Amino acid sequence: MRITMLGTSAAAPDPDRGGSGILLTVRGRHYLFDCGANTTRSMIKSHINPTEVNTVFLSHLHYDHIVDFPYFLLTTWICDRKVPPVVVGPEGTQDFIDHLFADGAFAKDIEARAQYPRRQNTEILVPDVRQCEPGVVFEDDLVKVSACYVEHIPREISPCFGLRMDTIDGESVSFSGDTAPCDRFIELSKDVDLMIHECTFPESAIEFRKKAQVGTWSHTYPKALGEIAQKANAKRLVATHFGSYDTCNPVVREIMGVHMPKDMIGPALLDEVAADIKETYTGELRLAHDNMRIDI
């Protein structure tokens, strides 16, 4: 099993990190968890043909986890995708898809391209959408994917899911999506070979963000993340979904200044985050970067 971290940032635009996107490859078959900004290009950078990605799981409907999906499908359509993808996601996923293609935002683009004989296959632009509830949400001959509710935004607005994949070869990976510390995700992740979990802000930014009253506090901070991975007995942990707190880009630093003091922002914060996680987690830890490859 191969895991490719296609995008590892949170919502801020970051030239060094794309939006949330993780590709899990089992015996050559690809499964995509989230489709944030730059996911499709990141696949190609990792020498993965996006036309061969036929199953997509959306953890929740925040834009930084779904915004690349129309680009993904339209691009793979004009690159001769063979079948429409399966899209598994929370309530609201069908509505999201319905507003994109034949009767939605890209209707004129599709109408124009469909004038060409090679582009008559517009059935590719009708994904097999499967809105899910907690439990087993997908199964084929290679993998089983299960989901649990996690705690990020109010469920009445949009449910948010953590995901777990178990493979025919006995490998297991869990992905938190976006969440505050959550016992349901710990239970879902019991004894996984690899836990991939958000770590959106460092400990040193917590009080600043509370006083600034910006964004949601429903994220997981490093010390809590270590506790989560330890309680789940995860063999390996990858921290991801970084809120651009390691950036050296002056524009991104200005943008992130509402979340933490600008003079704190920089690569050294990754060392702080790793140290804080390791206070409570004794397993193998890696901090994610775009196009990181992990083999299990």
| Average pLDDT of the residues of the chain | 95
In this structure, of 22-26, 91-95, 209-213, 245-249, the range with the lowest mean pLDDT score is: 209-213
How distant, in Å, are the alpha carbons of 104, 119, 130, 276 from that of 99?
Answer: 4, 20, 16, 42
Q: Is 286 within 8 Å of 163 (Cβ atoms)?
A: no
Q: Which of 95, 53, 47, 92 is nearest to 72 (CA)?
A: 53
Instruction: Please name the helix (run of DSSP H) or strand (run of DSSP E) that holds residue 207, with its range, or none.
Output: helix 206-212
CATH class, 2-295 region? alpha beta
Q: 3-state DSSP call for residue 113?
A: helix
CA distance 296 to 287: 17
Per the model's pLDDT, the better-predicted residue between 230 and 264 turns out to be 230
CA distance 136 to 133: 8
pTM, entire model: 0.95
Q: Could you say which DSSP state residue 125 is in?
A: G
Portion of the chain with pLDDT greater than 90, in percent: 86
Q: What is the pLDDT of residue 214?
A: 62
Average confidence (pLDDT) over 37-47: 98
The 10s digit of each residue's pLDDT in 58-109 is 999 999 999 999 999 999 999 999 999 999 999 999 999 999 998 899 999 9
Give residues with Cβ within 8 angstroms of 140, minimum separation 6.
Answer: 55
216 pLDDT higher than 70: no
The 10s digit of each residue's pLDDT in 146-204 is 999 999 988 899 999 999 999 999 999 999 999 999 999 999 999 999 999 999 988 88
The residue ranges of every structural domain in the chain are: 2-295
